[in-house]
């Protein structure tokens, strides 16, 4: 799993888009159920659930209108397809 966060320098008051690419043995995985959970690393801000939508060719996308606070965040992604299951954490920083 590879994640791209857009924009490159996310701000807490602007929309953030997460684009996830999933491949297995180099082949795109296009029919997975993908969810995510956002948590702030330095403070308990609760959890925000993120639902990814398939975009084709192993790509999945989710958006958030804004985040409540600037600082370091973790997006935990859970992907499942049949009996295959994978979880991965991605860290990123949100500015003011």
For the chain, domains (ranges, CATH) are 2-94 (2.60.40.10)
The whole-number average pLDDT for the span 15-33 is 94
Does 45 have pLDDT greater than 90?
no
Distance CA 76, CA 88 (A): 6
Mean pLDDT of the chain: 94
**Percentage of residues in the chain having pLDDT higher than 70:** 100
- pLDDT tens, 60-96? 999 999 888 999 999 999 999 989 999 999 999 999 8
Other CB atoms within 10 A of residue 4 CB: 13
DSSP code of 10?
Answer: -
pLDDT for residue 68:
85
């Amino acid at each position: 799993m590879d994640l791209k966060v857009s924009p490159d320098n996310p701000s807490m008051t602007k929309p953030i888009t997460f684009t996830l690419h999933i491949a297995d043995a180099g082949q795109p995985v296009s029919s997975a159920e993908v969810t995510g959970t956002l948590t702030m690393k330095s403070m308990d801000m609760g959890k925000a659930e993120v639902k990814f939508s398939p975009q084709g060719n192993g790509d999945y996308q989710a958006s958030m209108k804004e985040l409540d606070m600037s600082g370091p965040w973790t997006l935990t992604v859970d992907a499942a397809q049949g009996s295959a299951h994978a979880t991965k954490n991605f860290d990123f920083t949100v500015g003011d």
